[in-house]
Amino acid sequence: MARTRDTVVLNEWVACGWPDKVAVGESYRTAIFGQDIEVARLGKDAFGIFELDEAGRRGRQLPVQVRYCCVFTTLGEPTRPLPEIAEFDEPDRRIASCGSVGVHTSPYRIIENFLDMAHFSFVHTDILGAEDRTEVLAYKTEHRRDVDEIWAIDCQFFQPAASRASKDGQMTTYAYRVMSPFSVMLYKNVFGDDTRNDAICVFVQPMQETECLAYMPMALVDPDSAMASIIDFQQTIFLQDRVILENQRPALLPLDPGREVPTRADASSIAFRRWLKAQNLQFGIYEKQAA
């Protein structure tokens, strides 16, 4: 695929790596929105990012931000800044970076899957959901216009083993936050402390319309677990989702409400699709909308 002409997506910040992906002095090639780029690590947190032409020669240098265990860039001029996630600055938190996982699907399928609870009992059985407790209770969705984000709040689901720190089943409360068409996060109540939430993010790097990399940085309240266990748990969950994501048809996200049938449990997906439609995106969308 050649570089997309969809100016809406070109003006977004997107992840294109994580800091330790290569050593200082090394570089790697990747792509965003069909555009080949080179990412060079110049220092511990310093990166030079360049567009590449068909011959692989460096062209225009691109803006860089390093936050939330990810390296971000943009091909355009974003009006939407990177989100503020205060949990990543709290000193007692475990900050985990899980590398990236490749997924052959549209970026919006990944976001929707992350928002969904109705699959916990079937895809994450005995971890995030139980076979005999499948009900999704009603929750609220909001379009927060001041920041232009979609939120789902008062979400609850019964979970047998909701995190590394918990041993028995519990009713877990969630809030979901869609910060851009390519980024989503959830806040999950910390077992044993009602005042705090674990923060788990997914930043999607859209390489082509149906080829993505997913980054999953987390800021957790979990003093006891080994980091290898924290990462292992999150990767276990995501590789369970990946089988689903790669086998949804079509891979491009359909916005026509007649094509896929939602129920009340899909309220966040309905809000998300309505929000995408209002932004007039074409990249990754099944029905190409007129610009």
Partner 1 sequence: MTQKADRWVAIGLDHQVQPGSSNPVMVDGFALAMWRPDGGPVNVWEDRCPHRGMRLSYGFVRGNVLRCIYHGWGYGSGGQCVSIPAHPDLTPPKTICANVFRSETRYGLVWTNLAETPLAALPDSGDGVEWTPVRSLYVNRPESTVRDGIVAVEEGNGSSVEADESTVTVRCAGGTVLLMAIQKVDENKTALHVVARGQGTSTSRERLALVERMELLRGQLETC
Partner 2 sequence: MAIKLYDYSLSGSCYKVRLLLDFLELDYEKRQMDFYPGREHRSLEFKQLNPLGQLPVLEDDGVRLRDAQAILCHLANKYDRSGQWLPRDPGSFGSVMMWLMFAGGELMAASAARLHDALGYDLDIEAARRNAHAAFRILDDHLTKREIEGGTWIVGEHPTLADIACFPYTALSSDGGIGREDYPALRNWLRAFHHLPKFKAMSGIAEFA
Q: Where does this chain bind partner 2 (CB under 8 A)?
A: 18, 20-21, 97-102, 104, 122-123, 125-126, 213, 226-229, 231-232, 235-240, 242-243, 246-247
> In angstroms, what is the C-alpha Rg of the chain?
19
Per-residue contact string for residues 267-286; x = within reach of partner 1 by CB under 8 A: --x-----------------
Residue 236 lies near partner 1 (rule: CB under 8 A): no
Among 229, 236, 263, 279, binds partner 1 (CB under 8 A): 263
Residue 211 lies near partner 1 (rule: CB under 8 A): no
Residue 28 lies near partner 1 (rule: CB under 8 A): no
Angle at 201 between CA 73 and CA 84, to 5 degrees: 65
Judged by beta carbon distances under 5 to 8 A according to partner kind, the member of partner 2, partner 1, none in contact with residue 44 is none
Judged by beta carbon distances under 5 to 8 A according to partner kind, the member of partner 2, partner 1, none in contact with residue 235 is partner 2
Judged by beta carbon distances under 5 to 8 A according to partner kind, the member of partner 1, partner 2, none in contact with residue 48 is none
Q: What are phi and psi of 228, to 5 degrees?
A: -60, -35
Q: Distance between CA atoms of 205 and 182, rounded to whole angstroms?
A: 7
Among 2, 55, 228, 243, binds partner 1 (CB under 8 A): 243
Residue 142 lies near partner 1 (rule: CB under 8 A): no
Q: Which two tokens stand for residue 174?
A: 């969630």
Residue 136 lies near partner 1 (rule: CB under 8 A): yes
Judged by beta carbon distances under 5 to 8 A according to partner kind, the member of partner 1, partner 2, none in contact with residue 255 is none
Nearest-approach distance from CB 134 to partner 2, in angstroms? 13
Q: Going edge to edge, which strands form the sheet with 14-17? A: 14-17, 70-73, 64-67
Q: Distance between CA atoms of 39 and 260, rounded to whole angstroms?
A: 38
Segment contacting partner 1 by CB under 8 A, of 162-170, 213-221, 231-239, 241-249: 241-249
Residue 247 lies near partner 1 (rule: CB under 8 A): yes
Q: Which is nearer to partner 1, 65 or 125 (CB)?
A: 125
Nearest-approach distance from CB 285 to partner 1, in angstroms? 14
DSSP summary character for residue 286: S
Residue 171: beta bridge partners?
158
Residues between 83 and 122 that touch partner 1 (CB under 8 A):
112, 116-119, 121-122
Q: What is the 3-state secondary structure (H, E, C) of 49-84?
A: EEEECCCCCEEEEECEEEECCEEEECCCCCCCCCCC
CA atoms within 13 A on the CB side of 127: 16
CA-to-CA dists, residue 6 to 14, 150, 279, angstroms: 15, 22, 11
CA-to-CA dists, residue 174 to 185, 193, 250, angstroms: 10, 14, 29
Asked if residues 184 and 200 have their Cβ atoms less than 8 Å apart, the reply is no
Q: Distance between CA atoms of 267 and 184, rounded to whole angstroms?
A: 16
Nearest-approach distance from CB 115 to partner 2, in angstroms? 20
Query: In this structure, how many other beta carbons lie within 10 angstroms of the beta carbon of residue 48?
Result: 15
Residue 265 lies near partner 1 (rule: CB under 8 A): yes
Judged by beta carbon distances under 5 to 8 A according to partner kind, the member of partner 1, partner 2, none in contact with residue 96 is none
* Interacting residue ranges for partner 1, rule: CB under 8 A: 112, 116-119, 121-123, 134-136, 243-244, 247-250, 254, 260-265, 269
